[in-house]
Amino acid sequence: MTEKRASLIRSSAVPALCLAAAIALPFVVPQYYVQFASKVLILGVLAMALNLVVGQGGLVSLCHAAFFGLAGYVLALMSPKYDPASLLLTLPAAVIAAGVVALIIGALALRTRGVYFIMVTLAFGEMLFYLFHDADFAGGSDGAFINAKPELVVAGVRLLDLDKPLVFYFVVLAVTVGAIALLTMLVRSPFGHALAAARDNERRARALGFPIFRIRLIAFTLSGALAGLAGYFAAIQFGFVAPQMLGWHQSAVALVMVLIGGLSTVSGPLIGALVLLGLEEVLKATFEQWKLIEGVIVIAIVLLLPNGVRQLWPMLAGERAPMRANKPASPAAAAPETGHA
């Protein structure tokens, strides 16, 4: 009992310390690092959204950048030319648009399996990329600028001004904490157990009555909406959107973050985003051929730490075994639903 209590204290202390450090960060570092931390949090949310499909659902998607960039374009198209847009109007619109597109793509792509699912999601992502690349209303290949960042104004009182880096950072931090809480709740719920059961043994889960298609479609849609949430704040930070935000390369970067951080935990991809972006910052300032060195380091991490960099903590803490991937979820852990996909 004492060992179990000590383990619970350790597992609660680390997130609390990380949150405290994140809150204190803007007051002890220059503004550049505050903006860098905001970028890490935004891309961390994108990676965590992707991990809901990849890690929990066992489905490798290469179109999540499409939802990420689409939300940014929604903000750009809804923003007045010179005045700030309303946060209360543009944020829900961007997230809903990303979720609806994810629902449509998922309804078609989830009828395939394995490499075919990967290729179908890649194809849909590229379709959206070229749609905005060739569309004059969205600025074409040059993209579109967001001249004034959204504001939260209630009864004529400005409550949030995202043009201020400190305010923007704390809003993004709150969004990240909310995303972690939501994903943790989903993963630990009967829905999350059913999703993992379908990942581990689809035939058995289907035989027990789980509506596999519906479960995966809900997960894919929620994942796309969260990716859109990240894309909305990325557009605010960068001040513009471009077709490259929707390209498969951005999806691949998010997938690398997931693999570096680890598939076994909700917040692992956030750590993966920190490691990858931090590595890029250090290598850019040190080496001319930094991309080559980054690739070698990423390959080494994936080979030596198959469960992600988070498994270093139990190893350094002297625990008996390194962190392992999620155990196969028992389909009986979630209440079976009647009906089939």
pLDDT along the chain (341 residues), means of 10: 58 79 91 93 96 92 93 91 86 96 95 91 93 84 84 76 88 95 93 91 88 94 96 92 90 93 87 92 86 89 82 59 43 42 40
Say if 94 falls within a structural domain.
yes
In the chain, the number of structural domains is 1
Cβ burial of 170 (10 Å; 0-12, 13-18, 19+) is middle
Q: Which domain holds residue 190?
A: 31-247
Say if 332 falls within a structural domain.
no
Q: What is the pLDDT of residue 226?
A: 96
Say if 339 falls within a structural domain.
no
b/e for 274-304, b at 16 or more Cβ within 10 A?
Answer: bbbbebeeebeeeeeebeeebeeebeebeee
* Among 157, 187, 178, 198, CA closest to 57: 198
Say if 336 falls within a structural domain.
no
Say if 286 falls within a structural domain.
no
Say if 236 falls within a structural domain.
yes
Say if 294 falls within a structural domain.
no
Say if 305 falls within a structural domain.
no
Question: What is the spatial distance between Cα 48 and Cα 294, in angstroms, rounded to a whole number?
Answer: 22
